[in-house]
Homo-oligomer: A and B are copies of this chain.
Amino acid sequence: MKSAEDMVALFRQQGLKITPQRRAIFETLAEGAVHPSAEEVYRRVQEGLPDISRMTVYNTLRELVALGELVEVEDVSSSAMRYDTETGNHHHLFCLGCHALVDVDQSFEALELPQAAAAGYRIVRHQVTFYGYCPTCQKSNPR
């Protein structure tokens, strides 16, 4: 994630307006959790801006996704979308116990699908997700 100021500049450059609400959302994203849900962003922004609407958060997140500054990530078994502030190519480590989602910077460049298996698809990217149990959940749920 770029800094809040970068986001402000980007929005201006696109002819989009800078409101106190948007500024607060930028700041929350720049400082906050790595994979927040829309609801989490809303709650955090609300701490400093109690009257903000959930709507505005959704709108602004959507703009950021459209501008390529945020990437939507599926949250396995929770039905809520999460937003990834790291837009570069990276992978994920997901805890089956507590649903924590961690970035893995490792890049699996060598990972390629043989022509025969690609079924004529033009592949643009790939994403590896490792499923497991984080240290905390290993203790409370040993096996």
**Residues of chain A at interface, number, CB under 8 A:** 37
A106 to B130, CA, bound (A): 17
| Across-interface contacts of A74 in B (CB, < 8 A) | 74, 76
Q: Is A118 at the interface (CB under 8 A from chain B)?
A: yes
A89 to B126, CA, bound (A): 17
Q: Is A51 at the interface (CB under 8 A from chain B)?
A: no
Q: Is A125 at the interface (CB under 8 A from chain B)?
A: yes
A123 to B76, CA, bound (A): 16
Q: Is A50 at the interface (CB under 8 A from chain B)?
A: no
Copies of this chain present: 2
Contact in complex: B131, A127 (CB < 8 Å):
yes
A138 to B114, CA, bound (A): 19
Contact in complex: A104, B123 (CB < 8 Å):
no
Digit string of A91-114 for contact with B (CB within 8 Å is 1, else 0)?
A: 001011000001011101001011
Contact partner, A77, options B72, B108, B122, Cβ 8 Å: B72
Contact in complex: B125, A131 (CB < 8 Å):
yes
A94 to chain B, nearest CB (A): 9
Q: Is A16 at the interface (CB under 8 A from chain B)?
A: no
Nearest residue in B to A94 (C-beta to C-beta)?
B121
A76 to B133, CA, bound (A): 23
